Amino acid sequence: MAYALQQLINGLTLGAMYGLIAIGYTMVYGIIGMINFAHGDIFMVSAFIAITAFTLLAAADVTSIPLALTFVLVVAIFFTSAYGWAVERTAYRPLRGSTRLAPLISAIGMSIFLQNAVQLTQGARVKPIPPVLEGGVVLWDAPGFAVQIGWSQLLIIVTTVVLMIAFTWMITQTPFGRQQRACEQDRTMAGLLGVNVDRTISLTFMLGAALAAVAGVMVTVYYGVVDFFIGFLAGIKAFTAAVLGGIGSLPGAMLGGLLIGLIEAFWAAYLWAEYKDVATFSILCLVLMLRPSGLLGRPEVEKV
Amino acid sequence: MMLTMAGVHAHYGHIHALRGIDVEVQVGEIVTLIGANGAGKSTLMMSLFGNPRASAGRIVFDGEDITRVPMHEIARRGIALVPEGRRIFQRMTVLENLQMGATHADPANYAADLARVQALFPILAERQAQRAGTLSGGEQQMLAIGRALMSRPKLLLLDEPSLGLAPIYIRKIFQIVRELNRDHGMTILLVEQNANQALRVAHRGYVLQHGQITLAGTGRELLESPEVRAAYLEGGGHG
Ligand SMILES: Nc1ncnc2c1ncn2[C@@H]1O[C@H](COP(=O)(O)OP(=O)(O)O)[C@@H](O)[C@H]1O
Ligand SMILES: [Mg+2]
């Protein structure tokens, strides 16, 4: 029981990060009908920016953790949104209105480019940093097993919940969110009514990237190591989360992220830890075969 | 002059959809465009928004050349379109659809504009929290018109607003067109399959055939023209 509770906490932490990344996939798909395969790499870029920023701060003798975290978040969000913007401008916008396959190939090319750019500038070695947030609180000192939530886990879960609430509010309640949804439903009509469609698409990429940036910083704080391959793995898992929740659906992405995180944690704890990534890919295949519209998606959504 | 199209051509790939269009709409007029399916009526309206963009010719609206102005800027200049097929945002509420119509309008006018539109179409007030996709076809058309009015346009474009609607809604739409023009001085360009009624409410009209204007005149002149009677009014037409 105590052990299961611990897995629940671990799973929630993972799920929060997958959910944050999944939102970027789902929103971009919603507005341009295309999977942004470079999105996972945007997350990886953010993790590297975070590592670099933490290292710089350590060198500058900054010891205040809240200050350091805020600084790293701001820097990571700034650079990754700029990345998101640039990816859309260079790889996708020129191909808008062409065949469906062209932007897909462009996306994969962009992903390879980002991976190699980071590998070249950062080196292929695994990058460790000293732990940023150590320790935690013991929630339940059960016989033989203490259920504990780490400060970094708490930070991840709370930040994610706050961000998701804010994000949902923005999409459902603000004029920008309304215009964003209008572009999803009928881009031409939105344009006829005076919505700057290109700008809305750019902002959608930037927002998705910003959330992935937060996830990138969190993963750095949580694991303390980053390698250039995490973009691929986390990207695939978050993509699975988006598909499981129903691609194009915002609550779906959040729910899907949560489920994938929980499944991964419990699978690793009770089944085969070595095969935890297989679990995700099996789910992806199952969902695509049995219910391509996902849990909360609209059935009429077109498949890629 | 509210709108002048001079020698406008437009293409969809290899299809030459507009072949030198000359159309004028004066302030306070109702002008109607009639023509068979595929003549280019919708294309003409969409070309004002640059979709498709005019490949030759000039479009002047309210004294300014808008031939190359980006689509989202056109609404700001004062043109609103009720498009063919309504194009309501189905998964938004009725109120959100109206808010979309006010995208670039002055927020200070929002409350007054909403009240005015809801007074014109009470159903839009009753159903404001409902998803627009659940409205009937006629109600959706009211919503499309209401949405266009939310921006206080100088020129209102209506593309086949009565298509596929029950007679009660068709009457309502022609009545609204008349009222908007007479009581609010709104300038209207109206495309209709229902040529008879359209020519009756319009001050002037144009006949469009294969992307060209083949006939122009006052509503009455066109109603009495043998060509129009033969092609669009007496059985040969669509309504
Ligand atoms: N999106 C489009 N792509 C290609 N051809 C189009 C498109 N829209 C209209 N057309 C063609 O342009 C011509 C004019 O169409 P349209 O303006 O819709 O006519 P109308 O509104 O008078 O029925 C037709 O030949 C039609 O097939
Ligand atoms: Mg048409």
- Whether A96 has its CB under 8 Å from any CB of chain B: the answer is no
- Whether A192 has its CB under 8 Å from any CB of chain B: the answer is yes
Using CA atoms, how far apart are residues A106 and A283, in angstroms rounded to an integer? 26
**What value of ipTM does the predicted structure carry?**
0.95
Per-residue confidence (pLDDT) for residue A125, from 0 to 100? 66
What's the pLDDT band for A166 if we cut at 50, 70, 90? very high
Separation of A95 CA from ligand 2 center, angstroms?
Answer: 28
Alpha-carbon gap: A185 to the closest alpha carbon of chain B (Å): 6
Pocket test for ligand 1, best of B11, B21, B43 (most atoms within 8 A of CB): B43
- Whether A189 has its CB under 8 Å from any CB of chain B: the answer is yes
Pick from A162-171, A226-235, B152-161 the range whose average pLDDT is largest. Answer: B152-161
Reply yes or no: is the peptide bond before residue A143 cis, omega within 30 of 0: no
**What one-letter code names the amino acid at B123?**
I
Residue B102 pLDDT more than 90? yes
SS3 B174: helix
Among candidate residues A17, A39, A282, A2, the one with its CA nearest the CA of residue A139: A2
Comparing A66 with A230, the larger pLDDT belongs to A66
- Is B193 close to ligand 1, i.e. is its CB under 6 Å away? no
Comparing B18 with A151, the larger pLDDT belongs to B18
Arithmetic mean of pLDDT over chain A: 85
State the first-to-last Cα distance of chain B, in angstroms, to the nearest integer: 31
Alpha-carbon gap: B66 to the closest alpha carbon of chain A (Å): 14
What's the pLDDT band for A299 if we cut at 50, 70, 90? low
Q: Which of residues 119-178 of A touch B (CB under 8 A)?
A: 175, 178
Judged by its nearest atom, the ligand closest to the C-alpha of residue B161 is 2
Per-residue confidence (pLDDT) for residue A300, from 0 to 100? 57
Q: Considering only A17-21, A228-232, B21-25, which range has the smallest mean pLDDT?
A: A228-232
Alpha-carbon gap: B72 to the closest alpha carbon of chain A (Å): 4
Arithmetic mean of pLDDT over chain B: 95
The count of CB pairs under 8 A between chains A and B is: 58
SS3 A280: helix
Pick from A88-97, A273-282, B5-14 the range whose average pLDDT is largest. Answer: B5-14
- pTM recorded for the entire structure: 0.90
| Residue B159 CA, closest ligand 1 atom number | 21
Using CA atoms, how far apart are residues A154 and A13, in angstroms rounded to an integer? 8
Q: Tens digit of pLDDT for each residue in B42-63?
A: 999 999 999 999 999 999 999 9
Residue B82 pLDDT more than 90? yes
Judged by its nearest atom, the ligand closest to the C-alpha of residue B209 is 1
Task: Please judge whether B92 and A182 are an interchain contact, meaning their C-beta atoms are less than 8 angstroms apart.
Answer: yes
Domain ranges of chain A: 13-242
CA dihedral A105, A107, A110, A114 (to 10 degrees): -130
Q: Are strands B30-34 and B204-209 parallel, antiparallel or unpaired?
A: parallel
Among candidate residues B72, B37, B58, B43, the one with its CA nearest the CA of residue B239: B37
Using CA atoms, how far apart are residues B236 and B232, in angstroms rounded to an integer? 6
Q: Which of A181, A189, A197 sits opposite B87 (nearest CB)?
A: A189
Per-residue confidence (pLDDT) for residue A130, from 0 to 100? 73
Share of chain B above pLDDT 70, in %: 98
What's the pLDDT band for A283 if we cut at 50, 70, 90? confident
Residue A301 pLDDT more than 60? no
- Whether A97 has its CB under 8 Å from any CB of chain B: the answer is no
Average pLDDT over residues A235-258: 90
Alpha-carbon gap: A77 to the closest alpha carbon of chain B (Å): 28
Per-residue confidence (pLDDT) for residue B197, from 0 to 100? 92
* CA distances to A61, A103, A237, A270, A291 from A288, in Å: 50, 21, 14, 25, 6
What's the pLDDT band for B237 if we cut at 50, 70, 90? very low
Phi, psi of B218 (to 5 degrees): -75, 165
What's the pLDDT band for A161 if we cut at 50, 70, 90? very high
- Whether B151 has its CB under 8 Å from any CB of chain A: the answer is yes
